[in-house]
Chains A and B, each alone.
Chain A
Amino acid sequence: MIENPPVARLDGVSVRAGNVQILRDIDLTIDPGDALGVFGANGAGKTTILRVLATLQPTATGSVEVLGADATADERFTVRPRIGYIGHVPALYPELTLAENLGFFARSRGLDESVAASALADVGLAGAADRRADRCSHGMQRRAEFARILVSSPVFLLLDEPHSALDADAVDLVDAIVHRTVDQGGAAVLVSHDRARVRSLATRTVEIEGGILR
């Protein structure tokens, strides 16, 4: 029987920022079907580990493999569009409407703008599509970020505080997106302070403390 290759593998990964050691000797394997919850205090290194998995964070030591690509080599550029990353700060352009934001995202992936309109409808924002992002509430902006995930259907979801600022309907929507990705053979990593919510969603959880995974 042929085993599925891992979605991501970190081996002895350390990250430094100047003299500060943010991550220390992290070993982590994320397999298809995994929904990994990552917990830890503020500044423990949770967001950094997500950025490493998104191939956005250079590492000081160790090796990072994501979707079969070496994250320190140029091949990372080919797998990046298959990664869905939502940080804790919205990445929308404030001057553009939600439809324009999602349309830009769809077109950057060679998709039609109608896909963006449909995704906005799916997250309950059809009525706000022509509203500028900076005139939307934080919760609406978060919903629009999840519409981006629906547009690109990534196989590897990286979510930083996915349930924050969301109402009950939107929380269910996020959970459905995670379930769908995992059920289709992808994987998800959820960084959160909401342990109860994430435990109900995750297939396993880890704790990060002072840059060390426990």
Chain B
Amino acid sequence: MIGFGSQAALIARRDILRERRSGEVLWVTLPFGAIALLLVPLAVGTDAPMLRQIGPGIFWVVVMLFGVFISIRQTSSETDAQRDQLALSGLDPAAVYFGRALASFLFLLGFQLVLGFVTVVLYDISLEGWLILPLTFVIVAAGLSLLGTLAAGIVATGQNAAALVPLLVAPLSIPLLIGATQALEALQLGRSSLTWVLMMIVTVIVLAIAGVLSAQPLQETR
């Protein structure tokens, strides 16, 4: 039997390979995210100071909505037959959870980087003093990937479970959305963003614990 880390790496490698071949994030979700960012200036007008002010908020809303979607799609694309084989493989369900989340994390990080560039260009945002941005990207990607993977696990249990997903995703993604927007705003206003960063880190830890605890019951529920 291979170790926990190797099991997670094996699952992540599988998901990255699958995405590389299907190109779902790259060719479907990413363009839609960019279009969403483009539509807002068209809808509210080209008032440059206003766009500069709302740009970061719009960016995070788009990242949250499409980010959870990426993560759910990524991990709920398995068939029942594939899930059966995974359950019989002897892999630790918690390692499978972390492996799936790791692959989603990498996709989301890339997604944020591309959309971040689009936001800076479209909304004319200055990056001066935004050293905390990379850290925020990493925390948000970690949180959304863990949340999306957990939600996908619930979707995979079938029946009417998918209807519960918005009820789970919405409240748990709000601390990430608020934390990300407020951390950047605090920096812009010259305040400390530590509280917001800590709030996001706590959210990520809670999601990781919830994912580990629910991994086995979700695998066994069909």
Query: CB within 8 Å of B: which residues of A?
Result: 51, 54, 56-58, 77-78, 80-81, 83, 85, 87, 89-93, 95-96, 100, 104-105, 107-110, 132, 148
Q: Are B18 and A56 in contact (CB under 8 A)?
A: no
Closest chain-A Cβ to B74's Cβ sits at a distance in Å of 12
A110 close to B79 (CB less than 8 A): no
A-binding segment of B47-55, B85-93, B127-135: B85-93
Mask for B160-173, Cβ within 8 A of A = 1, else 0? 00000000000000
Using known A-B contacts A81-B90, A96-B17, determine if residue A91 contacts B22 with beta carbons closer than 8 Å.
Answer: no
Q: Are B81 and A87 within 8 A (Cβ)?
A: yes
Asked whether A93 lies within 8 Å of B82 as measured between CB atoms, the reply is yes
Q: Does B71 contact A (CB under 8 A)?
A: no
Partner of B81 from the list A77, A91, A110, A132 (CB cut-off 8 Å) is A91
State A58–B91 Cα separation when bound (angstroms): 20
Report how many A-B pairs have Cβ atoms within 8 Å. Answer: 65
Is the Cβ of B85 less than 8 Å from the Cβ of A107?
no
Bound CA span A78–B91, Å: 10
Q: With A104-B10, A104-B14 known to touch, is A54 a contact of B89 (CB < 8 Å)?
A: no
A109 and B89 contact, Cβ closer than 8 Å, known pairs A100-B17, A104-B14: yes
Report Cα–Cα, A96/B82, bound state, in Å: 13
Q: Is B220 an interface residue (CB 8 A)?
A: yes
Complex alpha-carbon distance, A95 and B14, angstroms: 10
**B119 CB-CB contact with A under 8 Å:** no
Is B14 a contact of A96 with CB atoms below 8 Å? Answer: yes
Contact residues in B for A91 (Cβ distance below 8 Å): 79, 81-82, 84-85
**Residues of chain B lying within 8 A (CB to CB) of residue A108:** 2, 7, 10, 89-91
* Known A80-B87, A109-B90; contact A89-B81, beta-carbon cutoff 8 A: yes
Chain B interface main SS type: helix
19 contacts between A and B (CB under 8 A): A56-B222, A78-B90, A80-B89, A80-B90, A81-B88, A85-B85, A89-B81, A92-B82, A93-B14, A93-B18, A96-B14, A96-B17, A96-B18, A107-B10, A108-B7, A108-B90, A109-B89, A110-B2, A132-B21
Chain A residue at minimal CB-CB distance from B89: A108
Residues in B lying within 8 Å of A, measured CB to CB: 1-2, 7, 10, 14, 17-18, 21-22, 79-82, 84-85, 87-91, 220, 222
Q: Which residues of chain B are near A77, meaning CB under 8 Å? A: 90
Contacts of B1 in A (CB 8 A): 109-110
**In the complex, which residues of chain B have a beta carbon less than 8 angstroms from the beta carbon of A105?**
85, 89
CB-nearest residue of chain A to B82: A91
Could you list 14 further interchain pairs (A-B, Cβ under 8 angstroms) beyond the known A56-B222, A93-B18, A96-B17? A56-B84, A56-B88, A57-B222, A78-B90, A87-B84, A91-B82, A91-B84, A95-B17, A95-B22, A107-B2, A107-B10, A108-B2, A108-B89, A148-B85
In the bound complex, residues from chain A placing their C-beta under 8 Å from that of B90 are 77-78, 80-81, 108-109
**Which A residues are in CB contact (< 8 Å) with B222?**
56-57
A178 to B84, CA, bound (A): 21
Whole-angstrom CA separation of A85 from B80 in the bound complex: 13
Residues of A near B17 (CB, < 8 A) are: 95-96, 100
Provide the residues of chain A in CB contact with B89, threshold 8 Å. 80-81, 105, 108-109
- A58 to B89: give the CA distance in the assembly, Å: 18
Per the bound structure, the CA–CA distance linking A93 and B18 in Å amounts to: 8
A95 contacts across to B, CB distance below 8 A: 17-18, 21-22
